């Protein structure tokens, strides 16, 4: 069985663990070479860049968790810590500790004591710091949080309730709050997941890696609504050919009723071991069904 080759553009992720390798020159770095006066201050800002941080983020500060008053390298370090059983609300962080000079202070991009950028990328809303600007972080007001992948590559779909690739603009089926749900495979909440998410043909969403696992198991229908996950026309054509080449024995030449998972129409077709094709849309994504109730008799007088 040949595997279909769906290619869905990605949705925006929440700040990820992985670092992209693309070269990305920020406006700040370009500006740094402009004046000589500002270059001293700029080199101070850049001091220690990417030299500090945790396994999640390169950054030059730690945060004081507002919930337990403990100090952590980042929000994720807090959430993964064995000593805490709650999640840190990123917006609530109020104090940070500069890792260059060890000064605790209110949240800001530049350390009030030593003048370094505690994060090359800084979001005042999320209290988020990151020195790896290659990720293309941006804050989406509608999502209410920072995402990665480059602001220019994403737009916020109001109906689906999340940032989607611009490639998907007017090219996906909107499902109300599609992203404010759990992955149907691993049940992780998708909206602030750190993993990449894909949108299926039906508009339902799923982690990219969970989706790929599904395809590996030859599962081509949405776990939520059973519709085909992508354009299957090439695959259906192959099945047409296989069916044409495989004549069923006389005893099996009877008709069955099927319901199409793609167009929701019922049809009566010849049984075939390879597949049963919807007579309305041509999909093989069908299941057996009972014959429809008899249409009401016409009252002919």
Binding site for Zn ion (CB under 5 A): 54, 56, 73-74, 76-77, 98, 100-101, 111, 113-114, 123, 125-126, 139-140, 142-143, 146, 156-157, 159-160, 163, 174, 183, 185-186, 202, 204, 207, 210, 222, 224-225, 260, 262-263, 278, 280-281, 283
What ranges make up the beta strands (E) of 39-87? 61-64, 71-72
What's the min distance (Å) between Cβ of 297 and Zn ion?
28
User: Furthest-apart CA pair in the chain: how many Å?
Assistant: 101
Which residue's CB is nearer to Zn ion, number 35 or number 51? 51
Which residue's CB is nearer to Zn ion, number 54 or number 248? 54
What's the min distance (Å) between Cβ of 280 and Zn ion?
4
Which residue's CB is nearer to Zn ion, number 44 or number 139? 139
What size, in residues, is the chain?
301
Nearest CA-CA partner of 273 in 246, 234, 236: 246
Which residue's CB is nearer to Zn ion, number 148 or number 163? 163
Strand pairing report for 71-72 and 95-98? unpaired
What's the min distance (Å) between Cβ of 213 and Zn ion?
9
What single string gives the DSSP state of each residue in 5-23?
---PPPBPEES-SS-----
Which residue's CB is nearer to Zn ion, number 126 or number 301? 126
Nearest 5°: the CA angle 150, 50, 35 is 80
Distances (CA, A) of 260 to 59, 141, 275: 53, 40, 12
What's the min distance (Å) between Cβ of 139 and Zn ion?
3
Contact between 158 and 174 (Cβ < 8 Å): no
3-state secondary structure of 165: strand
């Amino acid at each position: 069985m040949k595997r279909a080759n769906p290619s869905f553009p990605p949705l925006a992720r929440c700040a990820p663990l992985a670092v992209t390798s693309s070269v990305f020159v920020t406006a700040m770095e370009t500006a740094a070479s402009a004046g000589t006066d500002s270059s001293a201050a700029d080199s101070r800002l850049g001091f220690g860049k990417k030299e500090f941080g945790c396994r999640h983020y390169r950054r030059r500060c730690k945060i004081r968790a507002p919930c337990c008053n403990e100090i952590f390298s980042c929000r994720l370090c807090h959430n993964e810590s064995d000593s805490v059983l709650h999640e840190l609300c990123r917006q609530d962080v109020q104090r940070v500790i500069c890792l260059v000079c060890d000064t605790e202070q209110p949240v800001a991009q530049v350390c009030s004591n030593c003048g370094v950028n505690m994060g090359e990328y800084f979001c005042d809303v999320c209290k988020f710091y990151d020195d790896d600007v290659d990720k293309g972080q941006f804050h989406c007001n509608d999502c209410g949080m920072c995402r990665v992948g480059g602001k220019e590559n994403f737009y916020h779909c109001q109906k689906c309730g999340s940032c989607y690739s611009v490639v998907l603009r007017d090219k996906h089926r909107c499902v109300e709050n599609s992203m404010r749900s759990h992955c149907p495979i691993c049940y992780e909440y998708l909206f602030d997941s750190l993993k990449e998410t894909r949108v299926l043909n039906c508009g339902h969403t799923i982690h990219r890696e969970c989706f790929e696992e599904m395809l590996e198991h030859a599962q081509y229908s949405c776990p939520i609504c059973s519709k085909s996950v992508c354009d299957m026309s090439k695959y259906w054509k192959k099945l047409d050919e296989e069916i044409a080449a495989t004549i069923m024995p006389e005893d099996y030449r009877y008709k069955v009723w099927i319901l199409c998972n793609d167009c929701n129409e019922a049809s009566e077709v010849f049984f075939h071991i390879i597949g049963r094709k919807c007579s309305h849309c041509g999909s093989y994504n069908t299941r057996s069904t009972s014959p429809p109730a008899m249409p009401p008799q016409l009252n002919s007088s």
